[in-house]
Amino acid sequence: MNIMISKEGKAEERKWQIQSALSTLQRAEEIKNDTSLMRDVKRAAGMEAKRLQTLANGGGVMSSARKAPVKKVITKKK
């Protein structure tokens, strides 16, 4: 199925791509300037790199470091 896009449609799509890229670059700069967030991002990136290296070396895919949520049970005293 061929869908024809008009010149105007292509121009609008390009305009949207440019605006999206600009927003992404602005957000990236905000993230880089947030030292606390960047510290956590670097830690997460290191963990991901380690997981991928294990996979590349023929190891199994390690499960996520996330723990299952703990259900809190509240009981009434009688």
**Window from 1-15, 37-51, 55-69 with minimum mean pLDDT:** 55-69
DSSP category for residue 65 = S
Which tokens is 53 given? Answer: 């290296």
pLDDT digits (tens, 9 = 90+) for 16-42: 999 999 999 999 999 999 999 999 999
- 75 — pLDDT class (breaks 50, 70, 90): confident
Q: How far is CA 69 from the centre of its chain?
A: 21
Write out the DSSP string of 21-61.
HHHHHHHHHHHHH-HHHHHHHHHHHHHHHHHHHHHHTTPPP
Q: How far apart are the first and last CA of the chain?
A: 70
- Quickly count: other Cβ atoms within 10 Å of residue 24's Cβ: 10
- 5 — pLDDT class (breaks 50, 70, 90): confident
